[in-house]
Structures are given as structure tokens and as C-alpha cells.
Chains A and B, each alone.
Chain A
């Protein structure tokens, strides 16, 4: 076979993991024609050869896309076609329509299911009152308008959209709302006090409906990155609870059971990871200072967490450690999978949550360290290829990731 376009196409399909059986045979035949072909194939499909370029792309992504938008303002100036016509609809009918569409979403979108392909996660989140009456915040593609919920959209000085949760000044002091992302979702929002919260997949925060309080207390399950700017008399407290099996099932977070970890912050940037399927809770301080407490009385023990350190909590004991590089802890918020000397389950749990595909492990779990550096927009097969070079074979069968140790 000497058709350059066809060979290039087969390389591309191979890298994306989309080769059919016939195409696989075709590629195998071409590779077998000469050692030269095999050498070209190895070079062109080895992600290591292009890792540096992918890092550059992520650094430049926003600026390049912004420049394209500026060059063609007519396209991005268009009004987005609304998914639903803007005509008066009785509220009951509206609720029924939401329910029907939500059922559709839960099948085709929340499962990241696209005609059999597993897709990376996306910008998706729901908001609910404390008794779990769910209102939409953002649908899968183009938008139930967020103005229907408790989210306001404003433009910052650069013209970017910023989403703000609203504060209900008439709400009782103990009333809380829940913002949650499903598996395969993430969300960025500012709280009424302007604190920034980025929620990773399968995560939730309980926040007060009325924000006009001296101290703001948030309950987190899952993973979130915070940027807080308050004063020392009015701290921002994040309680972490992972006692239930599912990040979204815990319906009474303000009960008397002890929190697993509490962080009180006045000013700073930090990431907290607290998934029920992870062995420990990890809080990483990127900038600023926090007080740590972890008992049921909500009293702070006076331990402090400063920038450059992370704290892990396991079965009630805390371990404070200095880190050299915060990249791993906050790579997800920068749109990357970045793991260095990490356990395979750390990596695969994150992959499973982001692509919304459950895991099945067939052999003993390898204990050696693994590395991964890919954008989160990568096809799941790119993750598999990167891991296969390190001796772990992953594949998707019956909507599950199957992991096999090949060493």
C-alpha cells in the first residue's frame, strides 16, 4: 500500500483508538511491508515524542482561541440558538419538559455516551435546594439558561462570563443549597462573597442560601479548588465529609456526626480532594494560610497549613507534608491529568470519574509508580496508550474500563 493519505488516516485512527478490524489488518499489513514502515509507525504514534508539544498547547490554548475569536467577531457575536423556544409556558408543563429532557440527558450525556464512544467530561453541573429539589444550572451543550436558577452571569473586565451564585437575604440562616457535578462534569462558579470554587467531577458543596453571615461554612464532598479572599474576623470554613458511599447521596450534611477535616481560611488558594473511594483526604495549600481542625465539636485545634504544604487525613490522624511542586494537586483545574510517581488506582479513579466509566481490575494491582501527563480533553485511548507503555493494559468492554497488569 503506498497511499500517503490513507496511511496518515490510519495513524490518526490508531492514535484515537478508533480502528475497525479491517483497518487494523490494513495497518498491520503496511507495517509488515518493511522495517522502515514499522519505524515510522513507532515514531508517529509514540505520545512521548510529542509530550512537550501537548504541554505547550495547553499553555497557549486560551490565547490562540481568543485570537481566532477576535479575528472573526461575526461568528462569536451571533446569538446562540436557544434549545427551547422562548414562549410563555405554564410552570407545570415547564417542569414536565425539564423532567423529560433530564431523562434524556441522564442517558446520553451524563453517561458521556456518544454513539458508543467514551467522551471526556464537560462543563456540567446541577443546583438543588437542601431537600434535593433539583434545578438545572447548565445542560450538556448549549444551554438551559442559568438565569432560571440561582446563578447570575456577569462579564468581567476581559469580557469573559463569570457565574455567581446568588444570596437569598430572606432565607433562614440554616437553609442550604447544594451545587453538584455528576461524574464527567466540572463547574466553575463564584460564591456571593466572590470566593471562587472549581468543582471537579462527582463533587458537591453545600453552601448557605443566605450568605450574609460572619462566617461562611461550606461542606465539601469530592474535589474542589478554592480561591478565598475574606478577613480574619469572617473566615471561610470548609468541612469535609466522606462517610457515605457516594458523593451525591449524602442528604443531611449538617448533622452531628464529626467532619473528617475542617479548614478555616481567610485568604488563600487551596485544593481539597476527598472522595469516598480514595484512601485519604488531601488538602493542598497553594497560597495563604489555613487553620486545621478535624473533630466533631468543630473546634479548631490550632494546627496550621501554610503554602507549600499539604495535609492528609486518614482514620482520624493528620500528616503534614511539604511539597516541592503543586502541579499534581491542581493539574485537574488547569485541564490536565498530571501524575508523577503516582499509584495506578489514583490515576484510574480520576480517569473513571472524568470519563464516567466504571473500573474492573483483573489482576493484582501493580504497586510501582506511574506517570501520566495528558490534557483532560484527550481521548480515553490516549490515556490507555500512555499507560500501556508502563506495563498496564486498559481497554473498554461493556462500558467498563478493564485493567490488566502485563508485567
Chain B
């Protein structure tokens, strides 16, 4: 059986990758994927802890996260499509019309 630490480390690595992706990439789709990566890092941690403490609540939580993530993807992708339609680009640095 793989020790719990491995899972946590993997989860942390995935999460960090997600954070870095969000912070350094300019393509909105990539940023979106990075966000998903962070969610799944969290899911991995949930599942790992769930199997260690022999409780289903962690796994149930994951289901909810997946469901919410799906909804979020639907909304997010729709937004990106609309933005592309009006701006002909999905570079987030160009979306600065609310700049103070």
C-alpha cells in the first residue's frame, strides 16, 4: 500500500502546478485548466485521507467537488466563448477594461 505521504506530496505538487499555471499563463483556457488541476489536487487529498480514516465522507465531498467543477466549467467556457466573440482573443492581459 502506498503511504499517505506520497499522496499528499503528489497533491501538493499538483496544486502548486495549478497555482503557478494560473499566475504565469496568459491564455484563459490554460488558466482554466490550471484551476481544474488545483481542484483535482484537492480531490486527491480528500480521497487519500478518506481511505486512511475509513470514512466515506471524503469521497462524498469529492463527488460534490466534481459536480460543482462541471457546472463551473460550463459557465466558464461559455464566458470564454463570449469573450472570444467580442475580442477575438482570450489573452487575459487584454481584459483590462475595468482597470482603475
Chain A bound to chain B? no
Contact surface of B with A, Cβ cutoff 8 Å: none
Contact surface of A with B, Cβ cutoff 8 Å: none
